[in-house]
């Protein structure tokens, strides 16, 4: 009897539009001719999880307890592994992983690995992100281990990006021009590729908008989730 594909659990709500976009990309990446050919996906989209950036900056409560609650709920519901369509939430990835017995795909790690494998090799990457990942060096630390320098916006540009992200969360996608202005300044500073390190940015900036490689964590996460769903459980052995 054919082995059933593994069940994807999406720990979402951070924010809801990014959660929906991840599911849409999983669907688009799945070869299917009928409903039954699609992957089993369980989504817990909880927008009440406390703000991640505010917590990192010491201005709000930790989102970890609420994320653990969602992770455990997804595990109980039958998820074989979890994905989190929020870059900033990965600040708590280690603690979250310890709270459940199923694996969690590391979106930051997967994005970093793809950048490091790019040919020709890249030496400098421009990062657009919320203040949380910028303050905690989530991408800086991961890429530094690969010998890749991270170029970030100025303080003024960071404020511009944060404003754009808040507007996207409110449903305003007219901020693309402002985001691309910041991207161009990163390229002028030597960036050879761009990471939209907030999943809301993935909703408005695509590969066709740039004249350089775009490493979109949301799309990378979707591809990896589909791969994992089709793989034999990491602990299983062929017989």
Q: Enumerate the active-site residues.
A: 86, 198
Residue 84's SS3 state is coil
Residue 125 per-residue DSSP state: E
* C-alpha distance across the termini of the chain, in Å: 14
d(CA 8, CA 199): 18
Element holding 127 (H helix, E strand): strand 124-128
d(CA 3, CA 80): 14
Taking alpha carbons only, the member of 192, 25, 31, 186 closest to residue 107 is: 25
For residues 31 and 231, is the Cβ–Cβ distance under 8 A? no
Strand order in the sheet with 149-151: 149-151, 124-128, 194-196
Sign of CA dihedral 134, 95, 201, 48: negative
d(CA 12, CA 84): 6
For residues 175 and 160, is the Cβ–Cβ distance under 8 A? no
Tokens 């761009």 found at: 194
Angle, helix 217-230 to helix 107-116, in steps of 10 degrees: 100
């Amino acid at each position: 009897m054919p082995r059933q594909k593994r069940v994807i659990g999406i720990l979402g709500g951070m924010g809801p539009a990014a959660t929906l976009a991840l599911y849409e990309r999983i669907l688009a990446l799945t070869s299917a001719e009928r409903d039954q050919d699609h992957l089993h996906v369980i989504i817990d989209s909880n927008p009440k999880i406390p703000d991640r950036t505010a917590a990192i900056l010491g201005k709000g409560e930790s989102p970890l307890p609420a994320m653990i609650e969602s992770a455990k709920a997804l595990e109980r519901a039958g998820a074989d592994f979890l994905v989190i369509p929020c870059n900033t939430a990965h600040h708590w990835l280690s603690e979250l992983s310890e709270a459940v017995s199923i694996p969690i795909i590391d979106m930051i790690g997967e994005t970093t690995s793809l950048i490091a494998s790019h040919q020709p090799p890249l030496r400098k990457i421009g990062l657009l992100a919320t203040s949380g990942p910028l303050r905690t060096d989530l991408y800086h630390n991961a890429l530094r281990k690969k010998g890749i320098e991270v170029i970030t916006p100025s303080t003024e540009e960071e404020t511009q990006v944060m404003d754009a992200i808040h507007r996207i969360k409110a449903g305003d996608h007219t901020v693309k021009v402002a985001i691309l202005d910041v991207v161009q300044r990163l390229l002028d500073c030597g960036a050879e590729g761009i990471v939209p390190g907030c999943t809301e940015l993935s909703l408005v900036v695509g590969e066709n908008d740039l004249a350089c490689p775009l490493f979109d964590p949301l799309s990378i996460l979707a591809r990896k989730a589909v791969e994992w769903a089709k793989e034999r459980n990491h602990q299983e052995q062929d017989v």
